[in-house]
Structure 1
């Protein structure tokens, strides 16, 4: 196909991850680590803790449990962003989309965090699981014990099969290992096919990528939902929501698309991706806008059904959050940052085409959805001993900057643009 006067686009460009950029990210990491350190010291000395009974979940509260909860929140949050980046990549092939061709490598590079995320997740589960997950306490499954819990006992096999309930959660850990194993396998497969396409051209790689994307999407549908139940919903073991997998996915999705948008704008600002025009940016803005509303719809569906059925075992989830001095205000922060703000700011066509609006909204959404995960995890693990303080801010900065280093590093190792992608020409002429 002749490129009608399109020769001036540099298709061989690579992202140069400069020392200056690395230094800025490292600076944030160090600042985060210092803030985290301050948080840990304050926690150890008991400053800023309002322990009414000194109890959380029926046992004495220790500062390191808050550290563990933060480790877990950030692990789940950043794993999801990386995973959904790859999901969004696969969707482009499943949908035979052409407009997004110059952005494919950004989506794929996000998956580079997953091998690290997998190691962190498995390690932190062994380190923190016993204090974070109430269901891992053996006495809950012993009918002779005063702690015996028939509801959790009924769910025991989901964690411990084929071993005895309350022993070692083999089934749970097996799921975690299998999910990460397959996710990393698929990412490597996608990277391999991308590299071959860059070298050899032709359409065969596109068809190959399309079928691998289909397999990935089927596996993703099952694994992302089950991991949401495992990693987040099982914290509140008595409570369950049939919509929860969707809800967590929606939160990850908004954040991942926000991150894709931020990286795209960052690269454009550095003079890369000349073929990405206002129309591509507008499309990303529409996705951010649309998925924010989708997330709100799921949040509200879950809330409304539980609210009007008013069954105690369901409503306990919202009661312990809404009536809490610690978490109550954050419910409104959550809705404000993740729904009202993007809805009102990105409503107009112009706002979706403006880098500055998108930068602000997408940055706020990343923080906002972190708050969403904070609200899912902390009340069930820490009771009233949680909150957002130095520890939370520090851990978020450490994780965020570490993930940024990994993702941008991966982005700099290969061509920035899929130069032999059969739909590149279509993307040049993308206009909405």
Structure 2
């Protein structure tokens, strides 16, 4: 592309900045409303849902970059600055998630169950309630006591901080090497990125399931599924791809990244299409095995989600995250149509919000968390605004073109 501006930078101003700040303000109002209205438990559940979603999308950015380096992919160089911006935002997302979990564990409230008062934290009450692993205590739970070597607050926080810290460090390294590459050229920084990416993929592959077990599955600590980590990985990966594709389309529509062609969109569309099917495969495998085995400590997880309060959303989850992307992106032309792809990505992002909603709400607030009120909508908008503000701020601080990337010309001339 002869007219390519190798120093093109995104200008984060105007409506994009205003709307993101307004959305953040709406989020704070929703949090205040939830607390003042006496819905603190529901508010914490929504904060966990969205901070986990926020962190997961940013983690996907690091993973996307690492996969492109290790596979030596050329086509993705045109869009690589977007997931690199995710990687720069990940430390903030990690901080928010850890802060939400810390407050949810430290702040307690009193509930009445079977005629007795129990003081329990707002989050992770199933295993973090005082006395739950102490024999003789009225709160004693033998199942949780057997898991206490793993599910205890110091070890829980240690894992959370180590995992998110490692992901953030690897993301920062990949971003720094790419920025250095812009300045000095050559293959040194690319080779460093290749090696760091290979190490990251091993670390990420082993730790991501544990991250999901800790942050989400332990909300219902009697339940266990060895597939739960990969189910969360699939949700994280496809929602991150949808966000990446949506941002690329919107930037192109606003005069940035004009070198992104229908061929690049086709590849992104194929990834969203394919991994929506992969997510469904993992979801269905976990569901079918649990349904067929009918073991009480496993089936109770789905039983809660089949209660009248959640059953409609349980099936809508499949419609949004499987039927919509598969049917709408089936044809080649649909994957190359920016308008179709944009709206499918919005559906997928909303669908995976619903997916996380079904993971979090039944095990935290139960039937009281049914439906979508000010807390759900407002807090979700707040986190969308926060992600947009931080991601676009990061994107504006470097050239949108990785001008000395060894595969840049291949990407600019990509055709399928």
Q: TM-score range by the shorter chain?
A: over 0.9
Structure 1 unaligned segments of length 5 or more: list them. Answer: 1-5, 45-62, 161-168
1:329 aligns with 2:312: yes
- The one-character-per-residue Cα deviations of 1:189-217 (angstroms, maximum 9, x if unpaired) are 11211111000111222111100111111
Please, which of 159, 169, 172 is the counterpart of residue 188 of structure 1? 172
Q: Following TM superposition, by how much is the alpha carbon of 1:131 offset from its aligned partner in structure 2, in angstroms? A: 2.1
Q: Following TM superposition, by how much is the alpha carbon of 1:26 offset from its aligned partner in structure 2, in angstroms? A: 2.0
Q: Following TM superposition, by how much is the alpha carbon of 1:32 offset from its aligned partner in structure 2, in angstroms? A: 4.2
8 A contact 2:66–2:201 mirrored in 1: yes
Q: Following TM superposition, by how much is the alpha carbon of 1:159 offset from its aligned partner in structure 2, in angstroms? A: 2.4
Q: Following TM superposition, by how much is the alpha carbon of 1:135 offset from its aligned partner in structure 2, in angstroms? A: 0.3
Please, which of 62, 69, 74 is the counterpart of residue 86 of structure 1? 62
- The one-character-per-residue Cα deviations of 1:386-429 (angstroms, maximum 9, x if unpaired) are 02211011000001111110001000000111100011111122
8 A contact 1:40–1:391 mirrored in 2: no
> In structure 2, do the counterparts of structure 1 residues 248 and 403 end up closer, same or farther at CA, with 3 Å as the change threshold?
same
Structure 2 unaligned segments of length 5 or more: list them. Answer: 106-120
Equivalent positions of 1:242-391 (< 5 A) are 242-322=226-306, 324-387=307-370, 388-391=372-375
8 A contact 2:7–2:401 mirrored in 1: yes
TM-score of the two chains, using structure 1 as the length reference: 0.90
Query: SS where residue 75 of structure 2 aligns?
Result: coil
Q: Following TM superposition, by how much is the alpha carbon of 1:12 offset from its aligned partner in structure 2, in angstroms? A: 1.2
8 A contact 2:163–2:207 mirrored in 1: yes
Aligned residues: 399
Q: Following TM superposition, by how much is the alpha carbon of 1:31 offset from its aligned partner in structure 2, in angstroms? A: 3.9
Q: Following TM superposition, by how much is the alpha carbon of 1:138 offset from its aligned partner in structure 2, in angstroms? A: 3.0
Please, which of 144, 148, 172 is the counterpart of residue 156 of structure 1? 148
Please, which of 10, 14, 18 is the counterpart of residue 19 of structure 1? 14
2: CA distance between counterparts of 1:24 and 1:391?
Answer: 19
TM-score of the two chains, using structure 2 as the length reference: 0.93
Query: SS where residue 72 of structure 2 aligns?
Result: coil
> In structure 2, do the counterparts of structure 1 residues 140 and 33 end up closer, same or farther at CA, with 3 Å as the change threshold?
closer
Q: Which has the larger displacement, 295-304 or 141-150? A: 141-150
2: CA distance between counterparts of 1:310 and 1:330?
Answer: 22
2: CA distance between counterparts of 1:306 and 1:223?
Answer: 24
1: CA distance between counterparts of 2:192 and 2:29?
Answer: 47
- 1:427 match: 411
Equivalent positions of 1:94-133 (< 5 A) are 94-129=70-105, 130-133=121-124
1:211 aligns with 2:195: yes
1: CA distance between counterparts of 2:375 and 2:212?
Answer: 24
1:10 aligns with 2:5: yes
1: CA distance between counterparts of 2:298 and 2:148?
Answer: 19
2: CA distance between counterparts of 1:274 and 1:402?
Answer: 26
Q: Which has the larger displacement, 111-120 or 72-81? A: 111-120
